[in-house]
Structure 1
Amino acid sequence: MFWKFDLHTTSHIDTLLEKEDVTLTEVMDEEDVLQECKAQNHKLVDFLVRPQCMVDLVTYITQEPSDDVEEKIKYKYPNISCELLTSDVGQINDRLGEDESLLMKLYGFLQRESPLNPLLASFFSKVLSILIGRKPEQIVEFLRKREDFVDLMIKHIGTSAIMDLLLRMLTCIEPQQLRQDVLNWLNEEKVIQRLVDMVQPSQDEDRHSNASQSLCEIIRLSRDQMFQVQGCSEPDPLLATLEKQETVEQLLSNIFDKEKNDSAIVSVIQILLTLFETRRPAPGYFCMFEGHLEICPPGMSHPSFSVNQSILEAVRPRLKDFHQLLLEPPKKNIMKTTWGVLDPPVGNTRLSVVRLVASLLQTNTHIINMELINLNTLGVILDMYFKYIWNNFLHIQVEICTAMILAMPPAQSENPEINRDQDQEPVRESHLIKHLFQKCQFIQRILDAWSSNEKEQGEGGRRRGYMGHLTRIANSIVHNSDKGPNGAKIQQLISELTEDDKERWEAFTSGQLADTNKRNTVDLVNTHHIHSSSDDEVDFKDSGFHQDSSLQQAFSDYQMQQMTSNFIEQFGFNDEEFADQDDVVDIPFDRISDINFSLNTNESANIALFEACCKEKIQQFEDAGSDEEDIWDEKDVTFAPEAQRCPRYGSLSGVISSRKCCMICLGWLFCDGCPVVSGPMWTANFDDIPMDTGSSTSIGAPAPATTTATASPSSPAVLPESAGWSSPNASPDTATGWADFSSNFSPVR
């Protein structure tokens, strides 16, 4: 509507551009310059693509502003210039991507000395990234001619915007063949080796972090690309270089053969963890989720989704160095916390080493497992678990390690032990479980920690921070001893405990652990009766609501909805048949035409009975002149036990008043227990839908009349006749006052 009536106002930029001496800064001072540029205002675009304007725009994003410029507008024009150059206008992209002099001016920003201005670096990276996406052939050709491009990228890798630009070249270049050429070119330039050299103690933390993140993203992006483009015959050269044994060995040499540096160690471990990632695990690998270990379903045995053996071969000789890091981490200052002093604190290095151990356990490699056993790395990790009682980052990793050991079947390379007496097949034994229970005294340490915590809590102390994880570890032992693949071995190791330890464990699992699990269990379904906020309990079955309460009204409305739903269900209608049918008005009522009604009733008797019920209902108001009681006091209406039950919907004692029950039944004509409608008999003929009617009880009858009728296609269902209220002599021929539904409906056209 806005454009239809031409209510928009003309931009002031059009008027400004008509001046012969207009400058670029004057145009950029306009508030709507960016909107007009993205809307491809022809006058504005033609002005911006002028040679001098393009040079000025590139200069703004590559040259440091003068120091004497006011701070609030110091980066105003560089920011607007970047937005104009990246507005994705075809003419601007063509002029910038095809003019080598402009590209050289833009490229000159990389040739500056470190450190680069981070804000200008972000402008430069954004402009070059959009050119890579829109003009890939021209930009790649231009960059390949620059012999120092890779050197400059590595030199400035500590600037996050430059790292983003490098990753952009790996993800945003199309078509696939061009991307493969770029990968081969970067691999020939040894970009992986150069990034690896950045992760060493002699470099600063920014280079450690960005180089590590770049290598991790290269691994993930390459693996994802290989999975998505399965028809690609050439492997990813960058990923292949990263997974080589000598590359991993160089990474490990950077942190172990030189001085210990916390940032470098953590960065290298992060790269290793990414190499150990299995996006789609091959058969035999395990998935850990929320403390539960499950065998991953068999998937693709693709090399990019399983751990390369060369990586494990490079890591194995260095396990002793990682173990030593747990014992002697890089020096950390004493940390004061709200509950005490940490001397030394856990530190990021030791936490990363524990995460690495968890990933190594997931590979379930025999030679790695045996090395960890010989070093007693698991014992050191458990010592840390019970020492640092508030470090949940550590606790969850230890829980993962123990869950892996308990749930993993023995590694394939382990030597089987043969039970020769029973001449059975070879049975593999998990050396890790044996080491955990015997050398590390797993059961005893759990029991001691639990008892110590309860004693401390009993003296008024706090519950220790690892108790939740300890509960799940204990449950994991119980679960795997019963249902796990190592159940027999776990039970054997528990039976070999001393008598005192066995008794303590049995008492713990049946007592304290069971009680804790019970307290931690939440009932999802509450089967108890609903209680009101007052002292009076509301029982929907045995006691009634007050006659004038809002709760009675709400429950009556609910009954109405339930009766409507049952009616629809019995007569076979569904939601679609009640929807609006404005577009299909010629659909015939096929199912309704199959239903024949024959109703018999005595209207005068029903009216008389209805008036009697109403009179009984308002009887309390006739005594308004009495001095003995207040007519406005709340009073309860008492019904006979059988009269309070709706024969169709069960015991609804006092829930629905006589009048409401009558009105509901008169409306729907299927509550044969109601005194208003139950008297006359009515029949319904359903040719296609058989119906069974159960027993019913008449209100006010001396004894309940029970009749069972079975409907079939040839015999109509007959509702039971209620004793005391029926008119046995009534017939369809003598009934008056009711519509005759005996004839079939004709289709609606």
Structure 2
Amino acid sequence: MFWKFDLHTASQLEKLLEKEDVTLQELLDEEDVLQECKAQNQRLLLFLTQESSLLELVHLITHEPPTDREEKLRYKYANTACELLTCDVAIINDKAGEDDTILHTLYSFLEQEPPLNPLLASFFSKTFGNLISRKTEQTISFLRRQEGFITLVLKHMDTSALMDLLLRLISCVEPASLRQNVLTWLDEEKLIQRLTGLIQPNSDNERQSNASQTLCDIIRMSRDQASVVQETSDTDPLLATVEQQTVEGLFKNMFEGEKSEVCIVNGTQVLLALLESRKTGVEPIDSGSQGLEKSYSVNNSILLGIQPHLKHFHHLLLHPPKRCSMLTTLGILEEPFGNARLHACRLVAALLSTNAPRIHHELCQLDMINLLLVRHLPTLSTTYSLSLLFFTDLFFKFTWNNFLHVQVEQCVSAILNQTVPTEGPTQDSPEPARADNMHPSNADTANMELLSHQDLVKHLFQKCRLVQRILDAWEENDKTAEGGMRRGYMGHLTRIANAVVQSVEKGPVQALITNLINELPIDYKGRWQKFVDETLMETNKKNAVDLVFSDYQIQQMTANFVDQFGFNDDEFGEHDDSINATFKRITGMKCNLVDQGPSASAFSVCSKEKVRQLDDADEEEDIWEDKEINYAAQVKARTSLSSLSSSTLLSCASCGCSPVGQGWVASFEDDFNFKADFASVALDTGSGVWGSPTGQLSDGDDKGWATFTDFQPFCW
């Protein structure tokens, strides 16, 4: 209706375009200029695609606006200009992408000295990214002709908008052949090595963070692209470089020379991205090809590069960077755990999930799991630092750091639930993707992985004393929780205990874990059995109770929600089907009606004394219609009339009224037999009524009608 009756305000652009001296600023002042541009207004597009207009639009998004304008209106024209240049109109894309003058003007923004204006940088990145997507060949050809393009981009890497432009250059180039050429060009420009060089203590924090995030995004996008695009067997040169040549450079920047927590965190984030593995999920086994295996497994060179440097992370856990005390809601934290040590724990958890025997062996030699779990280290090997004698374990020391508790829980879960091959692959099944191919023989590799996993499980239960630590920590919490509060790690400790119990019941190393628990000291073995049967079971019951309200049957709001509203009887789940109800339902009710006998009898008598039942009349009769009341000739005596006192009867006799004889009886039959003609049914209430107990109907024309000529009023 809004458009049908032409209720919208007419655009002023047509009037402005009719002017010969109209300026771009006047058009940008109109609120509907962007809508008219997207609506393919020919006169407006003709004006905007003029070289002078396009140059002015590019100038607005690449140069600082005047400072004398109001702050909220200062970037108005720059924002509108960027929207016009990126509104995906073909004629604007063609003019801007094919004119080298416009591209040079736009490119000149990178030649400014840092730091760049973040808002203008976002306008520049959006405009150039649109040209890369829409005019790919022309834009890529222009960029490759420019000397030092990658250098300029890395120079301004402290601005996040330039990181977005670089990622768009890698991911938004089509077709595949042209994309392969771009990736080869970027690899020849040493993009990966130069990004890795930015992650060093001498760089500022923003530059390091953006460089790290760019490397992580390149790794993820390249692996996703390799798993999706199967039409070409060409490898991604950037992915190959980052997997083979990045690890050593990262460790050199992180741990050699001056150490920086920011550098360690950003470098570890790249390592974690390299260790990410994609699971095949629901895909069938026979659908996997050789080209997909490399995207689902961790490259062996990455693990070989990380293994010699695990000692640096071990030292980092013992000697973290100095941090100031922190005020928390629970008080002052004298020694914060720190982001660097948290990322070290994340790296250990990721390495445990790779199923690499040499990595597992190195972690056991460094006693890394013991460092995360045990409360104190009573005995040490000569290869360990003496400072470990006074080191308190991280999990229990930082009581309220749930980020740390999550990582330790994942480490234990990775050890207990790790799947190990029981035998080598057959000829009929493809070889499974593995993280570590140390030997050419598949059977030897599988056997090595099995032995490595068993050694890791033994290390967890024997040297780390996992079961003993769970029991001791639980008892200490029960003692301190009586007058205080529950410790922050108890939820994660419960999950770890449940993981151990489940591994005993069913798991890849069920027999081994059962034997290790049976080998516990008699005291701890009995305490563990009692803990599992009583304490842990009671805790699980408490945790299973659904507190207050649970939205366990909320439907999704879809387009056809009105037609599918509610639940069908066979789809609606009862409360008892979902959770364990803790309230007893009432199954019956006992009522004693002995004392209510007289009341029930009185109610029954009153119910029978009806004047007229509603269903006696015709169905079409209106029960609320006013009608004459008809009484039967024979009526029964009412107890209320017989209760008249003798004084009342004497007073009636003294005034000359006709007395009510003792033989008079008021009788009301239970059911009145009305005739079809209701007008002819009436009682004769003349003097004869008082003379005899039975009333007779007259035979005259007034038959059935009552007469009151001889009626004498009562003198009560």
What is the CA-CA distance between 1:341 and the residue it aligns to? 2.8
Q: For residues 321 and 15 of structure 2, what CA distance do their matches in structure 1 show?
A: 67
Amino acid at match of 1:502: K
The corresponding residue for 1:64 is 64
Q: For residues 605 and 586 of structure 2, what CA distance do their matches in structure 1 show?
A: 26
1:476 equivalenced with 2:537 (yes/no): no
Q: TM-score, normalised by structure 2?
A: 0.69
The corresponding residue for 2:331 is 340
The corresponding residue for 1:463 is 486
Amino acid at match of 1:261: S
The corresponding residue for 2:477 is 453
Amino acid at match of 2:87: S
Judge conservation of contact 1:157–1:211 (CA < 8 Å) in 2.
Answer: yes
Instruction: For 1:575-590, list aligned pairs within 5 A.
Output: none
Q: Which moves more between the two structures, 37-46 or 213-222?
A: 37-46
The corresponding residue for 2:359 is 368
Change in CA separation of 1:538 and 1:624 when aligned onto 2, cut-off 3 Å: farther
SS class of match (1:218): helix
What is the CA-CA distance between 1:623 and the residue it aligns to? 5.4
Match of 1:436 among 460, 465, 468: 460
Q: Which moves more between the two structures, 374-383 or 158-167?
A: 374-383
Instruction: For 1:205-216, list aligned pairs within 5 A.
Output: 205-216=205-216
1:356 equivalenced with 2:363 (yes/no): no
Amino acid at match of 1:432: L
The corresponding residue for 2:708 is none
Amino acid at match of 1:95: K
What is the CA-CA distance between 1:520 and the residue it aligns to? 2.0
Amino acid at match of 2:246: T
**Residues 629-649 of structure 1: CA deviation (Å, up to 9, x unaligned):** xxxxxxxxxxxxxxxxxxxxx
1:302 equivalenced with 2:296 (yes/no): no
Q: For residues 494 and 586 of structure 2, what CA distance do their matches in structure 1 show?
A: 40
What is the CA-CA distance between 1:282 and the residue it aligns to? 10
The corresponding residue for 2:656 is none
Q: For residues 487 and 537 of structure 1, what CA distance do their matches in structure 2 show?
A: 41
Judge conservation of contact 1:281–1:306 (CA < 8 Å) in 2.
Answer: no
Q: For residues 299 and 352 of structure 1, what CA distance do their matches in structure 2 show?
A: 33
The corresponding residue for 1:488 is 511
What is the CA-CA distance between 1:411 and the residue it aligns to? 8.1
Q: For residues 400 and 298 of structure 1, what CA distance do their matches in structure 2 show?
A: 30
The corresponding residue for 1:401 is 411
Percent identity among equivalent residues?
53
What is the CA-CA distance between 1:328 and the residue it aligns to? 0.9
Judge conservation of contact 2:420–2:450 (CA < 8 Å) in 1.
Answer: no
The corresponding residue for 1:269 is 268
Q: For residues 7 and 340 of structure 1, what CA distance do their matches in structure 2 show?
A: 63
Question: Which structure would you say has the larger Rg?
Answer: 2
The corresponding residue for 1:384 is 394
Amino acid at match of 2:416: L
Instruction: For 1:150-549, list aligned pairs within 5 A.
Output: 150-244=150-244, 246-280=245-279, 302-382=293-373, 383-409=393-419, 428=451, 430-458=454-482, 460-522=483-545, 539=587
Judge conservation of contact 1:364–1:411 (CA < 8 Å) in 2.
Answer: no
Judge conservation of contact 1:282–1:306 (CA < 8 Å) in 2.
Answer: no
**Residues 405-429 of structure 1: CA deviation (Å, up to 9, x unaligned):** 12225689999xxxxxxxxxx9846
Amino acid at match of 2:396: F
Q: For residues 75 and 45 of structure 1, what CA distance do their matches in structure 2 show?
A: 23
Judge conservation of contact 1:201–1:258 (CA < 8 Å) in 2.
Answer: no
Q: Which moves more between the two structures, 296-305 or 476-485?
A: 296-305
Instruction: For 1:581-660, list aligned pairs within 5 A.
Output: 621-622=607-608
Q: For residues 25 and 481 of structure 2, what CA distance do their matches in structure 1 show?
A: 71
Q: For residues 576 and 84 of structure 2, what CA distance do their matches in structure 1 show?
A: 65
Judge conservation of contact 2:187–2:238 (CA < 8 Å) in 1.
Answer: yes
**Residues 324-371 of structure 1: CA deviation (Å, up to 9, x unaligned):** 111111111111222233231111111111010001000111111111
Judge conservation of contact 1:170–1:183 (CA < 8 Å) in 2.
Answer: yes
Judge conservation of contact 1:446–1:470 (CA < 8 Å) in 2.
Answer: yes
Change in CA separation of 1:200 and 1:376 when aligned onto 2, cut-off 3 Å: same
Q: For residues 197 and 467 of structure 2, what CA distance do their matches in structure 1 show?
A: 45
What is the CA-CA distance between 1:25 and the residue it aligns to? 1.0
Amino acid at match of 2:70: E
**Residues 67-121 of structure 1: CA deviation (Å, up to 9, x unaligned):** 3333232211111111111111222111111110111000000011111100000
Q: For residues 473 and 180 of structure 2, what CA distance do their matches in structure 1 show?
A: 57
**Residues 510-546 of structure 1: CA deviation (Å, up to 9, x unaligned):** 1211211222224896569xxxxxxx9964x7789xx
Judge conservation of contact 1:366–1:411 (CA < 8 Å) in 2.
Answer: no
Change in CA separation of 1:128 and 1:414 when aligned onto 2, cut-off 3 Å: closer
SS class of match (2:276): coil
List alignment gaps of at least 5 residues for structure 1.
Answer: 284-295, 416-425, 529-535, 545-616, 626-749
SS class of match (1:66): coil
Change in CA separation of 1:310 and 1:411 when aligned onto 2, cut-off 3 Å: farther
SS class of match (2:396): helix
Task: Flag as ranges the 4+ runs of structure 1 deviating above 3 A.
Answer: 1-10, 296-301, 409-415, 426-429, 522-528, 536-539, 541-544, 617-625
The corresponding residue for 1:132 is 132
List alignment gaps of at least 5 residues for structure 2.
Answer: 374-392, 423-435, 439-448, 547-572, 578-583, 592-602, 612-716
The corresponding residue for 1:29 is 29
Change in CA separation of 1:87 and 1:70 when aligned onto 2, cut-off 3 Å: same
Q: For residues 193 and 140 of structure 1, what CA distance do their matches in structure 2 show?
A: 22
Change in CA separation of 1:517 and 1:124 when aligned onto 2, cut-off 3 Å: same
What is the CA-CA distance between 1:280 and the residue it aligns to? 2.5
SS class of match (1:302): helix
**Residues 604-653 of structure 1: CA deviation (Å, up to 9, x unaligned):** xxxxxxxxxxxxx998644599xxxxxxxxxxxxxxxxxxxxxxxxxxxx
What is the CA-CA distance between 1:258 and the residue it aligns to? 2.4
Q: For residues 604 and 129 of structure 2, what CA distance do their matches in structure 1 show?
A: 84
Would you say how many aligned residue pairs link Structure 1 and Structure 2?
523
Amino acid at match of 1:322: F
What is the CA-CA distance between 1:475 and the residue it aligns to? 1.2
Amino acid at match of 2:408: V
Change in CA separation of 1:80 and 1:411 when aligned onto 2, cut-off 3 Å: same
Amino acid at match of 1:454: D
The corresponding residue for 1:579 is none
**Residues 136-178 of structure 1: CA deviation (Å, up to 9, x unaligned):** 0100000000011111111111111100001111121111111
How big is the alpha-carbon RMSD for the aligned residues of Structure 1 and Structure 2? 2.9
The corresponding residue for 1:602 is none
Judge conservation of contact 1:372–1:378 (CA < 8 Å) in 2.
Answer: yes
SS class of match (2:499): helix
Amino acid at match of 1:264: C
Q: TM-score, normalised by structure 1?
A: 0.66
Q: Which moves more between the two structures, 103-112 or 169-178?
A: 169-178
Judge conservation of contact 1:354–1:398 (CA < 8 Å) in 2.
Answer: yes
Change in CA separation of 1:488 and 1:79 when aligned onto 2, cut-off 3 Å: same
Change in CA separation of 1:267 and 1:462 when aligned onto 2, cut-off 3 Å: same
Q: For residues 352 and 450 of structure 2, what CA distance do their matches in structure 1 show?
A: 21
